[in-house]
Structure 1
Amino acid sequence: MAKHNAIQKTNAMRMLDKARTAYEAREYPHKPGEPVDGETVAALLGQDPARVFKTLVTQGAGGGYFVFVVPVAATLDLKKAARAVGEKSVAMIPVARIEPVTGYVRGGCSPVGMKKAFPTVLDATAADGDTIMVSGGRIGLQIQLAPADLLAACGGKLADLCAE
């Protein structure tokens, strides 16, 4: 996949460039201040929603933060998520905490290039195809790359995370 040089680089893109990871950056139209949902993003980019993933940030019972990456149409099963990271429980962090914790805004949170490296788990379905899409680090930007490359970039692992 070729890199998109005309797009303004985000921290996620800089991290992937530094690691020499192949990716394609793709922009989609959005109006500032309007909410964006993943299924709409998938449609705007002509992608199967099962191959477009959202990044969710949680806090464990022990106080640590954990990142989970699941298909946009799926729901994170918090019990499965907790088991995947060895916690008693995890809970979604409040929207107001997303930017201070990750450095990214809601709707533009990428699993790559957060302020700190948090334990990251991708839903096992990520490995079902050649590529997946995740946020590129801002609303209006997605990054398409191989699941193995994303796992390497964020030090992640695969697990069954979605509610049935």
Structure 2
Amino acid sequence: MSKKVKTNVMRRLDQAKISYQDQAYFGDDVHNGVEIANKLGNDPQEQFKTLVTQAKSGDHYVFLVPVAASLDLKAAAKAVNEKSVTMIKEKELEPLTGYVHGGCSPIGMKHDFLTTIDDSAQNYEQIIFSAGKVGVSVKVATSDLDAAIKKLQFAPVAQYK
């Protein structure tokens, strides 16, 4: 029997009295978010990945897009009123956010960055995203996200291949 994992993201959701469902998957037989979503029985359009960018201005921004999509950098820049944004380097992620690659959550970062969630999330009652630890996710009601994430907006920022 495996021990239940409790992350800081879950503690913050508990403190805010926001209900969630946690999911965990540990193993090395998956290689991307779509495979993880499928393994957990989730719709890949409902499971989101957290991406951190830096604008030409030096400001950082967080974006959530479905795991089957990538971030449209031009649309992302437009959404945050910047000329351009680029993905930060993996080695910069943990010092900036407190999270490691594959376990980055929009909740509980070291700083409250403006977070933009692809507007497709509004098509779902709940979305799934990292709980702040590799292999652990939370499913949260879309209507509760504004209470969980201080600086939140929705905009069309996903790009499908």
Give me the TM-score of the superposition, normalised by structure 1. 0.91
- Other-structure match for 1:53: 48
User: Paired residue for 1:160, among 138, 143, 156?
Assistant: 156
User: Which consecutive residues of structure 2, in runs of 5 or more, have no partner in the other structure?
Assistant: none
Describe the SS at the equivalent of 2:147.
helix
8 Å CA contact retained: 2:30, 2:36: no
Q: After TM superposition, list the pairs within 5 Å mapping 1:84-123 onto structure 2.
A: 84-123=79-118
Q: Distance in 2 between matches of 1:10 and 1:115?
A: 15
Select the structure that is richer in strand: 2
Q: Measure how far apart 1:44 and its partner are.
A: 1.3
Count residues in correspondence. 157
8 Å CA contact retained: 2:9, 2:105: yes
8 Å CA contact retained: 1:36, 1:107: no
Deviations 1:116-156 (A, max 9, x none): 11000000000101111000100110100111212321131
Runs of 4+ in 1 over 3 A off after TM superposition: none
Taking a change above 3 Å as real, the CA distance of residues 36 and 142 of structure 1, as seen in their structure-2 partners, is: farther
- Other-structure match for 2:120: 125
- Other-structure match for 2:68: 73
- Provide the identity percentage: 46
Q: Measure how far apart 1:35 and its partner are.
A: 7.5
User: Which consecutive residues of structure 1, in runs of 5 or more, have no partner in the other structure?
Assistant: 1-5
8 Å CA contact retained: 2:16, 2:147: no
Write the letter of the residue equivalent to 1:113.
Answer: G
User: Paired residue for 1:42, among 37, 42, 52?
Assistant: 37
8 Å CA contact retained: 2:7, 2:132: yes
